[in-house]
Amino acid sequence: MTTNSTITINGQPVAFTVGETIFEIAARVGKTIPALCYDPRLDAFGGCRLCVVRVEGMRAPVASCTTKATDGMVVETATAQIESLRKTLLEMVASENRQIDVDPLRGYASQELTTLVDRYAARTGRFAGAYSGHSKTDDPNPFILRDYDLCISCYRCVRVCAEQEGDYAISVMNRGFHTQITTEFDNPLKESACTFCGQCVQTCPTGALGDKKAMRFANEEIGD
């Protein structure tokens, strides 16, 4: 139901519908807030923390993707403090991955991490962390590359498989640096409930999941 409620974002008053989040309202008026765990088709859960914003009257930044707007709320999306926090978070993510630059043919969203790391000049090497995730590049299926050394545990693949497809073919095991995207009993995809719809590939923001067919076709074309 539409109301006369108003939120102020970066000095601009914006009318909103009850139930909208700060992230949704900002996107609607062209004030893009960075995020890596967000997919508009999925329930937001604020995992990556890149979308945090400053809300007047609140002591700490809040995740804009999970915070519902209230009438009279005053929001700043890119203060110096918030931008510094985002850069630090991206530096930490970059330190855990084998590589940041990947072939765009891996998937629709595969350049999201690369774009943000470059936007925030986060290729500093300031942190040196253990890699999170162990690749399953030897999975014999002909469709999906599982290069989990590039995984950032955003869980978009897990959630799209469950929330959009209802297959629940992939899940998460362990915690922290030992977190791993996996299948039931850690079997190959062909032995799971996977239907190879490709939704997990297309939502992955780092190229940890890749479209083997597209990459193979491109290589064949180059070879010709």
Q: Is the separation of the CB atoms in 183 and 170 below 8 Å?
A: yes
43 and 105, same structural domain? no
Q: Which domain holds residue 9?
A: 2-78
Per-residue pLDDT of the chain (224 residues; tens, 9 = 90+): 455 799 999 999 999 999 999 999 999 999 999 999 999 999 999 999 999 999 999 999 999 999 999 999 999 999 999 999 999 999 999 988 889 999 999 999 999 999 999 999 999 989 886 776 778 888 999 999 999 999 999 999 999 999 999 999 999 988 877 888 999 888 999 999 999 999 999 999 999 999 999 998 877 655 54
Is there a domain that residue 87 lies in?
Answer: no
Using the CB atoms, write b or e for 140-164: b if 16+ within 10 Å. ebebbbbbbbbbbbbbbbbbbbbee
Report the domain count for the chain: 2
Is there a domain that residue 211 lies in?
Answer: yes
- Token pair of 21, please? 């989040």
118 and 61, same structural domain? no
Q: Of 13, 45, 78, at which residue does a domain stop?
A: 78
117 and 210, same structural domain? yes
Is there a domain that residue 112 lies in?
Answer: yes
71 and 108, same structural domain? no
Cβ-based neighbour number of residue 174 at 10 Å: 11
| β-strands 52-55, 62-63 pairing | antiparallel
Is there a domain that residue 195 lies in?
Answer: yes
216 and 126, same structural domain? yes
The pair phi, psi for residue 17, each rounded to 5°, is -95, 135
